Each structure stands twice: as C-alpha cells, then as structure tokens.
Amino acid sequence: MKRTQFIIPILLLLASCFQEEASTFHEGNLWKITSKNGTESYIFGTVHLYPRSELKLSENAIAILTECSTLALERDVTNTFEQQKFMDFEMPKILTESYKVIISEYGNELVTMENQLIKTAKDNGIRITGLETTDEILRILTNLNEIEIPQANFEKDKMLQAYQQSLKMYKKEQIKSFKDSLIFQMPKRMTKLIVDQRNRNWIDDLVGLVENEPAFIAVGMGHLGGEQGLLQLLAAKGYKPIRMEIKNKPPNTVYN
C-alpha cells in the first residue's frame, strides 16, 4: 500500500454548563472556543488512521463542521504539489515500521478521518487550510533521525499493542492519558518535537483563525491534552474551551 500523508504512526498523533478547569483537560475530543467578539469555533481531536470496524467519525462533529467557514488540518493535504513533496520524503525508520505493522494487521479496514472531513468540507464549500506547511513538518521529521531509538521500540507486538491501546483511549476521549502514554512509546525528545513544539508553532495561527471566522480545527488527539496541549495553550491566552458531546447526537448537545 502506498505511503499516505497520514503515515506518522503517532496516528492518534490525535457549549456546556460544565466547564473544565484550565489545567485539567483530561477528557474530551471536541471543544468549543468562543472568540472575543462571540464567534464560535471548534477544535476536534482525530485518529488519523483507524479501522472502520472499530470507530466511526462522529455525526455530531460533521454537523458542526458544516456550520463553519474553514476546516483547518495539521497541514493542507489537498495541495497536490505539497503532498507530493511529503510523499517523496524518506520517513524515519520508527515511523515507517509502525505504519507497516498497522497496515499488516488491518489492511483495507483502515480509513483516514481527515479524508472524511475534507470530503464534507468540499461538499459544503468550506475553505481548507493547514496549521503548518509541508516544509515545517519535514524539518521536524528530519530532526527525528538524530534521535536514538531503542531497538525494543521496533518490536511488532509492542507497536501493535500501543496502537490498539490508543484506539481505546480515543473511544473514551482520554486525551491527557493518551498524551502521557506517548513517553512510553517513544523517547521524550521525540514527543517534544512532534507534539509539543508543533503545538507551540500552531497556537498563534490557531488564535488568528478563531478570532476571524467560525473555524473547525482538526488535529490528532495527542495535540489536545497535557500541559503543552492546545487546550492548555488556548487557556493561557485567555480562552475558555468548552467540552462538547462527541457521540452521534444533535450538534448542540452539551454536557450537563
């Protein structure tokens, strides 16, 4: 199978009257962010690549997307030139090996959540953009080659177990637990590069989006939770993310 734009095997590398404390964004895959002028945007944690028999993209999230003017992904994978540049890049071994393990286990069962969001956006005339350029992510991936990866990290059973555990955490919306689990799956420096550093790189552009238009921001669930997660970074800038219902219910369903 061809390597796709969602090869990164972190793969998961992700209005409510109940308000999470800024430092305790433990659970929740869908959040509302209200701008200073009252515009409502949303940030949604995704599973980049998942078996269709185990997960389903929330109809609630799709309904909310159709009410927004922009879909912002980690990067704009609809740009043909940029996408070819990404696919021609030689990925670090730890990423390609993890991808092979997942493909060998699930094969044609695998689908991409981002592709489904893109189709919805195109069908509804919604603008598509990215929080980073292809060159920016490729520079980070290049730096991964300098990190020594323990041989144990390449064991097939461990890779598969970590992926399956991530799917379980996604179903339970355990965004902080998932972020915490990354330190057991890879060296700490790798987590800082592919998650924390990218979050910091994105945050100003993300704020610019939500302050100017109703935007739907979709990123891997690993980017939401934790001290350096996007929700915490938004809270530090004065926003109050509100957890939304993720299940297949009407889009205005909220937690009580």
Closest CA to 15 of 255, 206, 248: 255
Q: What one-character DSSP code corresponds to residue 248?
A: S
The full length of the chain comes to 256
Q: Provide the CB-side half-sphere exposure for 50 (13 A, CA).
A: 26
Note if the pTM is more than 0.95: no
Q: What is the pLDDT of residues 140-159, one digit of tens each?
A: 999 887 888 777 777 889 88
Q: Which residue ranges of the chain lie beneath pLDDT 70?
A: 1-24, 247-256
Rounded distance between C-alpha atoms, residue 112 and residue 51, angstroms: 9
Rounded distance between C-alpha atoms, residue 172 and residue 67, angstroms: 26
Closest CA to 47 of 133, 100, 114, 108: 114
CA 221 to chain centre: 4
Amino acid sitting at position 173: E
Query: What pLDDT does 23 receive?
Result: 52
Query: What pLDDT does 129 receive?
Result: 97
Query: What pLDDT does 220 receive?
Result: 96
